[in-house]
Amino acid sequence: MGQLQDQMKATLLLRGFRPNTCESYLRCVKVFVRHYGKSPREMGKVEVQEYLLHLLKERGVKPGTFNVHAASLKFLYDCTMGRPEEVAGIRWMKVRTPLPVILTGEEVERLLKALGSLKMRAIVMIAYGAGLRVSEVCHLQVQDIDSKRMVIRVRDGKGGRDRYTMLPQRVLETLRAYWKQARLVGPNLFPGMLSGTTLTRNAVSLALRIAAKKARIRKRVTPHGLRHAFATELLEQGTHLRTLQVLLGHASIRSTVRYTHVSPALIRRTKSPVDRLQKVPLPKATPRGAIRKTAA
């Protein structure tokens, strides 16, 4: 793609797209070009539709993945190449939102014990104890930990928003132990292998999978699952939804309300209408012999 790829990348940045989104769009377009072996300038509506059908029928991609590919091609032809008619008929697929898998407190303790690295243990403690996204944890800087006010500053979170969230005492103790061991020299709290870089999300995910297997946790354990567990625990403790929304950094309360559907404690505490009915005496049981006589 060469020049066209650079042009698309520049357009994405000018439109204010997040780095992860830019990377996903460019990757999807590269796969599209590789599929046909020719430049997008030589292709149009027919190739786009055939390619999207190929993704569904032959590759069997999920609706969410399909939508990313569709969005990348719409951006390419509409915003980058100025040919909106080529993608005018593309529609998004409806994505089913499954209920998240929630880890119990006992499972999180087992997970922490299975993590051999103090660095990874600190990351898990922050994700579970403060409800941060894994990308937010990985990009934390030393100055973001405010031990005087007991808060963590999240810079440039999802949607480019900054926020403060809680800094639990146990998380602070773990961070202090990690600080002494790591002897950090740069600004990054969790640096990567190369100088000036931060730890990657994939590295955290891999460490969690290994620890979950070691701890014999059969549930699917992901970094985002720790955030789900944080939200569910606070909701069960009676935390107000608006407070939870601020802590999680949700732009809409609708994202926060979803946790009301996954909390077993809330379900157990909710009274059914049938429990409010006055007790009605149960009918007397009819002997089996009497039933036969009546039927005869």
Catalytically active residues, by annotation: 133, 158, 224, 227, 250, 259
Phi and psi (nearest 5°) for 209? -60, -45
**Which residues, 6 or more positions from 210, have their beta carbon under 8 angstroms from its beta carbon?**
none
Distance CA 105, CA 107 (A): 5
Residue environment code for 193-213, b if the CB has 16+ CB neighbours within 10 A, otherwise e: eeeeebbebebbeebbeebbe
Is residue 204 within 8 A of residue 120, CB to CB? The reply is yes
The one-letter code for the residue type at 52 is L
**Which residues, 6 or more positions from 250, have their beta carbon under 8 angstroms from its beta carbon?**
256
Q: What is the DSSP string of 196-231?
A: T-B--HHHHHHHHHHHHHHTT--SPP-HHHHHHHHH
CB atoms within 10 A of CB 148: 6
99's tokens = 């209920």
The one-letter code for the residue type at 228 is H
Distance CA 214, CA 116 (A): 11
153 three-state secondary structure = strand
66's tokens = 């399909």
H/E stretch holding 52: helix 45-57
Is residue 48 within 8 A of residue 77, CB to CB? The reply is yes
